[in-house]
Each structure stands twice: as structure tokens, then as C-alpha cells.
Structure 1
């Protein structure tokens, strides 16, 4: 039976980028639909009626939402190497834990730091603590799962690729080689991984978007 996979995403979204990276790693062909997030398509709203966000993943007519859920589905459906989650139950649980840490703790804090909030210094210190925690978890591994890109790396794509460009655009620098040498090296390894690199948005295009977004934030204050 022919497999039919579709991704509804946005080039600027690290969340839909996760799904494309996973599919590329697995060697899965898919059809991509670019969404205008200010004017979402009827198909996106149909396939993700609860959150009404990208990404939405459709496999043989069945829709799945939420990037981490989609990543696990891809790993279980196309269970060839490389595996996105480890085989060992404990290691799988740890990978899920750190992926949730990134989504529930680190990313929201970084978002507040870069896009502004009332208690800025307090939030910045919190972000530094979360980065330190992730730095310590990486230890001396090339990727969070070892020698190959896995769940935590893919979920951390925002830290590896988006954050350096937000820093360049904003002038506010948190992730440095001096402060977080392991995370800094990991970000370069991840960004330059062959299957990852081709699914990341063009650096100049992303940087221009971030600059325009930051200008919009500053003029609205």
C-alpha cells in the first residue's frame, strides 16, 4: 500500500521544522503545505481543530497534531534507523523528560527574554539556569542521545538554530561558547548535520524575519 504523508507547516516555525527533520532522517517522502499563519487554511483547521496551529501531520488520511506526538508516531511507524527515541525503556523515558523540559521550561522562558516581559532580569536569570541544566545533561555526548540525532536534539532545534539568530538580531546574548561550551558545540553539530541542515530555514531569511518582528515589538511599546 502506498504511504501518503503530508505536513502542514510554516517555514518560520521550529515546531513544524521538527517534523520535517524527523521525516528527512527516516527517509520518508511527504507532501508539504506552507501555511499563512495570519490566514490559516481550511485544511489546517480541519486536521488540527483543537489547537489550530502548525504542524499538522496527515498519514494515509489520518491526522495527528502536536510536534512531539508526531515525532513519536513517525518513529514508531517508520521504525528503521536512525531511531528518534532509544529502545531502552529508561532511556526513552529520559528522552521524553528532557524534550518536555525544553518545551515546558526552557522555550517559554527564552521567549519571554527575547520578546520582552515586565520582570526581565528575573526571567533572564531563569533562562540561564535552564540552559545550565541542559548543558549538564548533555555531558560529553555529541548529541543528547549519543552519536545520532534523536528526540531531544530535534525538539531543541529552536535553541540550536533560532536562538543564535535571535541573539544576532536583538543584541541580547545568552548562549555563548564561554558560558555553555557543550551546548554551543552541540548547536553547531546539529545545525551542520546533513539531514538537519537541508530542513532548516535559510539563515538570512530567518534573520530578516526576526529583525522585523523585533522592530514590531519595539514600535508597539
Structure 2
């Protein structure tokens, strides 16, 4: 069965009209129905997400695995925390060093809850086979004269970098920002040595607006600039 062009308008319609399709996902895939959150997910064999926004988001990554992009849930906290720990342990493109990171699941949940409770903030995750393998977050500025701006952060598990997940997550966040009348400018900062990330951001229309020279110090003679980039939406 091919559901690549199937759309629904509301979860109620899906439950009433499309029960056979829901059952197919539940029986043949690894999908599940969540009426409160408003969508059906089907990973594994299908890699399709159907939600209340009439969006169908298929995404194929390497090794024939399928991914679903969706808004973060509170119960994603542990898996997001695992990704953060993995990236920090690499000690390559992150400001904190491992011994400085002691965030708990409860603190991570509080962070996610604040994001979900702010109409100027958002967070998406990439999920494969029921496991979160990447995420992107947008946090807006609190001060009134800067509230039209915000910054993004993006992390992907090491095994899935270079698969296109980062670009897909970035596209998803930019699409949301463009539709949000409260957001006008998306900002980010990245290490000057992170050439792959800089190339991705430039391909998505980000422009360097400056840099903090020798902002990060790795050793007595090793410094890295903080490259500041932006995109108007």
C-alpha cells in the first residue's frame, strides 16, 4: 500500500473515516495513534507522519532507514539528553566540556516544557524506528526590542550525520519561522572549524554577519572563532 499522498484534516476524521489505514499502520509498521497530540506516526517500514496540519513527511536516510520529523514531546527528554551527551563527549563542536554537563532528565523536561509553552519558540526531532536521532530548537529573545529574533541549535547523532537529517530539520524549522508572524530573524553561532555546518547554513540562505575572534580556546596555541550567521524570514 502507498500512502505517500494521503492527507487528513483532523484526527476525528482519521478515526472515523480511515480506520483501515490506521489499523494497517499499527499492524504492519511501528506506528501508533495519539489522539491527544493529533497525529498518526508510522516509522520503520513506512517513514510517514500524518498530523493535524495536513502534512505528510516522508524522509529516507542511509541504509534504507526511514525517519519522521515531528514536534518534540516531553517524553523525548531522555533521548535528547543522550544526544547532547554524545556530542559533548566528542569535544569538537560544543562549547561545554563533558565535566561541565550534568543536566538531569527533569531539567531537560522543564526546558522542553518552556519551549512548548512559548509561541515564539519551537523544537523538532527526527525519529527513526521509534528512536530520536536528531533535534533542532529555536529560542527567541525575551527582551521586547529583540523578541522578533531568536537562535537555533541543531544536533544529530554521529551515525546519522551526512544523511540529510540536519538539512531536513533546518528546513522544517525555517518553514515554521516563516509562518510565524512574531519571528523575523533566525540567528546561529558555529565554530569556524565546523566547515560542514557552515556550508549547510550557507546553502539554506544564512549569511555571516560577523565573528568573535579567538572566542574559544582549546589549548595554549589553539583558538577557534565563533561565526555568527543570520537569515531573515
TM range (shorter): 0.3 to 0.5
Q: Tell me the TM-score normalised to structure 1 length.
A: 0.32
Q: Which has the higher strand share?
A: 2
Larger relative contact order (CA 8 Å, sep ≥ 6): 1
Max Rg structure: 2
Q: Tell me the TM-score normalised to structure 2 length.
A: 0.31
Q: Which has the higher helix share?
A: 1
